[in-house]
Amino acid sequence: MLNNFSTDLLRWYRLNKRDLPWRRTKDPYKIWVSEIMLQQTTVSTVIAYYERWIETFPTIHDLAGASLQRVLKQWQGLGYYNRAKNLHKAAGILIKEHGGVLPKDPRGIRALPGFGPYTTGSVLSIAYDIPLTIIDANVRRVAMRLLALPGVADIKKDPKINDFLIKVLPDRQVGDFNQALMELGALVCRAREPLCMSCPVKKYCEAYRAGNQEIIPETKKRMIKDLKAVIAIIKNADSYFIQKRPSKGLLADLWEFPGGKIKPGESKKKALARELKEELGVKLKSSTHLFDVIHFYTQFRVTLSVFICTLENDPKEDKYRKWVTFENFSKYPMPSGSAKIIDKLKK
Ligand code: SF4
C-alpha cells in the first residue's frame, strides 16, 4: 500500500517546491546555516537573514574567524540567540578538529554544539543524502494525519512517526524526500484548513479517509504571560548609554538600554530609580515618559515603558557599559525590543 508513497511525494515536490536560496546549493555549510535559521522562524523571515549571513560569512572559515559580537549582530532580530552562538562555536571546532568540513558521520556531527537529532538528520540527508529521517513540526503534523494519530502534536508521537518514516524513506533522494514532507506540511497539509483535494498523498491518508483531518492534531492552549518593564534612556550630547547583558540566560551577551521588570506593587518611577541604582549605581534626578513598546516572545508579552532620564551622577563606562551614538548602534547586537526603541527614538 505504501510502495509508491515516496515516488508520489517526490514527483509533487519536483513540480511544486518553492525556489529558496538554500535549495540552490549542495554546500553542507550553507544547508546547515539555513536549517538552524529555519528552526522557530518562518521561511519568509529567514530568506533575507540567510542571504546577508552568507554574504558576510561565505565559508566555515569566515564564520570561525569572526568575533562573537559580529556574529550576534548578523543574527539580530531572529531571536533564540543560542543558535548563532552554537553556529560560531561549532565552526571553531570544525576548523580545529575536522579541517573545516562538516563530518558525514552522524556521531561526529552530533558532538558539535547545536546538533540535535533534527539538525543532524536534516543536514546529513540534504547535504550528503545520508538515509536519516527527520521530524519537525510540519512533518509531525503531516504524519499524525497520515496515520490518524489522536492527541496533541508532541514528541511522544515521534517513535510511531519515525517507524512510519523508516518504512517510506526512499533509497535515493533522501534529502529531497525529507524536504518534500516539510514542504507538504507548509503548503498543503497546513495546520489550519489542509488542502486535501490537492494533496499528492491523500490516498495514503487515514485522517482524510475518516474525514477528521481538521481536528488532528488537537490544538494546545498557549499561556502567554504579561510582563511590564521600565527602560531608561540616558543621553549625553548625541550619545546614549547602553550595557551588555550577562553571558548566561535570556538574551545573553546582547546590548540594551538600562532598566528592568517592575516589581508587584511598584510604580514605574520607583522601578526606574531602583533599576538605575542596582544596575549602574546612579541616582535618578528626574524622568519623563516617552512612549511604550510592546514586544512578543514565545511565552510572554512585555510592555516596555521608555523614559528619558536625568541623573545626579553620570554612569561609568567600562567593557560592559558604553556611550554610543546613533550611527554606532549598528555595531552592537541588541534584542528586538531595544531595536524597536531605537527606531522610535530616531523618529
Ligand atoms: Fe494532510 Fe489532507 Fe494530505 Fe492527509 S490528505 S496528508 S490531511 S493534506
Contact 120 CB / ligand 1 (< 6 Å): no
CATH of the domain at 287: 3.90.79.10
- Per-residue model confidence (pLDDT) at position 107: 93
Residues 90 and 162 in one domain: yes
Res. 151: pLDDT tops 90: yes
CA atoms within 13 A on the CB side of 196: 18
Res. 299: pLDDT tops 80: no
Res. 40: pLDDT tops 90: no
Q: How many CB atoms lie within 10 A of CB 132?
A: 22
Cα(276)–Cα(286) distance, integer angstroms: 12
Residues 203 and 252 in one domain: no
- Residue type present at position 126: I
Last residue of a domain, one of 173, 194, 215: 215
Cα of 119 from ligand 1 centre, angstroms: 25
Residue 83 and residue 37 in contact, taking contact as beta carbons nearer than 8 Å: yes
Res. 222: pLDDT tops 80: no
Residues 28 and 116 in one domain: yes
Contact 213 CB / ligand 1 (< 6 Å): yes
141, 144, 145: which to mutate for ligand 1, most atoms within 8 A of CB?
145
Q: Which residues contact 190 (CB under 8 A, 6 or more apart)?
A: none
Q: Is residue 98 part of a domain?
A: yes
Q: Is residue 340 part of a domain?
A: yes
Residues 198 and 250 in one domain: no
pTM of the model: 0.83
Give 336: exposed, middle or buried? Use CB within 10 Å, 0-12, 13-18, 19+: middle
Res. 221: pLDDT tops 90: no
Residues 189 and 63 in one domain: yes
Q: Is residue 276 part of a domain?
A: yes
CA triplet 137, 141, 143: central angle to 5 degrees? Answer: 115
Residues 51 and 77 in one domain: yes
- Per-residue model confidence (pLDDT) at position 7: 96
Residue range of the domain that includes 257 = 225-346
Last residue of a domain, one of 179, 194, 215: 215
- Per-residue model confidence (pLDDT) at position 288: 96
Name the β-bridge partners of 322.
Answer: 242
Cα(81)–Cα(73) distance, integer angstroms: 10
Res. 219: pLDDT tops 90: no
Pick the atom of ligand 1 nearest to 213's CA.
Answer: 7
- Per-residue model confidence (pLDDT) at position 298: 72
Res. 131: pLDDT tops 80: yes
Residues 301 and 265 in one domain: yes
Concatenated DSSP letters for 235-277?
EETTEEEEEEPPSSSTTTT-EE-SEEEPPTT--HHHHHHHHHH
Number of domains forming the structure of the chain: 2
Q: Is residue 283 part of a domain?
A: yes
- Per-residue model confidence (pLDDT) at position 57: 98
Pick the atom of ligand 1 nearest to 198's CA.
Answer: 8
Contact 147 CB / ligand 1 (< 6 Å): no
pLDDT in tens, 262-283: 999 999 999 999 999 999 999 9
Closest CA to ligand 1's atom 4: 205
The rounded percent of the chain whose pLDDT value lies above 90 is 87
Cell 543558535 found at: 83
Residues 59 and 105 in one domain: yes
Contact 282 CB / ligand 1 (< 6 Å): no
Between the CA of residue 136 and those of 8, 82, 110, what are the distances in Å? 21, 19, 17
Q: Is residue 49 part of a domain?
A: yes
Q: What is the mean pLDDT of the chain?
A: 94
Q: Is residue 220 part of a domain?
A: no
Q: Is 218 annotated in the active site?
A: no
CATH of the domain at 189: 1.10.340.30
Residues 233 and 184 in one domain: no
16, 164, 165, 189: which to mutate for ligand 1, most atoms within 8 A of CB?
189
Cα of 40 from ligand 1 centre, angstroms: 23
Residues 61 and 81 in one domain: yes
Last residue of a domain, one of 197, 215, 233: 215
- Per-residue model confidence (pLDDT) at position 273: 95
Cα of 281 from ligand 1 centre, angstroms: 60
Residues 182 and 41 in one domain: yes
Res. 248: pLDDT tops 90: no
